[in-house]
Amino acid sequence: MSSSSSFEKTCANLFILTVTLFLMFVFSEVLMKFFFHPTYNFQSAGMLNGHAGELKVELIPDNLYKIKPNSQLGINKDGFRDKDFSKSKHGKKRICFLGDSFTMGLNVKSEETLPKMLEKQLKNIEVYNMGVVGFGPDQELNVLEKYGFKYKPDLVIDAICALNDSGDIYKDQIYELSHATGELQKTKINPVVTSVFPSSFALVNQINFLKNRDQIVNYLDSLLFGDSYDLTWIKYSDSDESKYKFSLMEEIIKKMRGVTRQRNVNLLAVIIPSYDNICNDKFFKENHVAPERYFVNEQLYQHILETENIPYVNLVPYFMAIGKDQRCGLFEAGNGHLSPFGNWFSAQIISQYISDHELIKNEPDSH
């Protein structure tokens, strides 16, 4: 064999090898990008009514994370704590109930959650539980656009957790206000993008996550699920951070109102107070909060909703109208979430408001 033909054969083999490696890289990139996002297990004391199950969290760039399906723990194919959702409505009206762990109800049985208690109060109306632990209104807005509208709701309910939602939208960094116009816009960089998806190559990101997994998980676990009472509006109302949080929340709520109106779907907000300002004010006293400022967060949410002409139920006056022993029974002291009684009590109030204001018409749905 001549040296020329040997060289040509070597070049051909190298070309084939290069093309093969390139195609393998492209294939692995597509596979990683769309099917293998980094995941880790989230566990909390008393979670899922004491079953000690671990929820698998999938980290995603645009909404920080979602819950992976788990039929044993009652997590459906979309990652929500409910039965699998159906696009067909079978003549029923439908509510999509957004929120965080108060809506998801990690501390109670599935049938004792706020959405399911509401479903029991309403006739011929199904309520889809789309609450996710740790979510704020920013992530709930994204859930509504990605999942909620797909199931053709007649009413969207967003449960606002007054104790930490203002802090959530600030630390999440999913949305920001334009420096030029003040308008709401999605960011390109957020904590999950920075720590989990720093490269444009999915394979590099996966290797980086595996290499630095413990460090990344510890950081994100604290950031995403380490919720604490946001006292910014209460104690530092004149600060730049407080004003920015208010404007950002205002724009997120305004956008939620806008996307529901575009689809001719009613929107109802529910303001859920905390165990701290309803039953045990030890936290406020330790942080030198005057009693007259205990409900500033709830009042500011109410102001935003009234300004944007969004129907709302503020649970504070209803909770405060009953005796302290019964009032404290609305929450579970160990975790600060609504108890089964608290969910039932809240569902009664919400159901009555929906009926009184005819947010859902009684005629059968045609879909």
Tokens 């950002």 belong to residue: 248
DSSP class of 53: P
What's the rounded Cα separation, in Å, for the pair 235 and 334?
A: 26
Residue 362 CA from chain centroid, whole number: 30
Phi-psi region of 182 (alpha: psi -120 to 50; beta: other; left: phi over 0): left
Percent of the chain with pLDDT over 70: 89
Q: Can you give the pTM of this predicted structure?
A: 0.90
Residues in the chain: 367
Higher-scoring residue by pLDDT: 121, 46: 121
DSSP strand pairing (93-99 vs 175-177): unpaired
Helix (H, G, I), strand (E, B) or coil at 78: coil
Residue 111 has pLDDT above 60, yes or no: yes
Residue 52 has pLDDT above 60, yes or no: no
- How many C-beta neighbours within 10 Å does residue 60 have? 15
**215-240 per-position pLDDT tens digit:** 999 999 899 988 789 999 999 999 99
pLDDT at 227: 78
Residues sharing a CB contact under 8 Å with residue 170, sequence separation 6 or more, in sequence order: 241, 244, 245, 248
The structure tokens listed for 119 are 């479903």
Helix (H, G, I), strand (E, B) or coil at 72: helix
What's the rounded Cα separation, in Å, for the pair 31 and 206?
A: 11
Average of per-residue pLDDT across 188-215? 89
Ranking 48-52, 116-120, 227-231, 337-341 by mean pLDDT, the lowest is: 48-52
Q: Supply φ then ψ for residue 190, to 5 degrees.
A: -140, 175
Residue 161 has pLDDT above 90, yes or no: yes
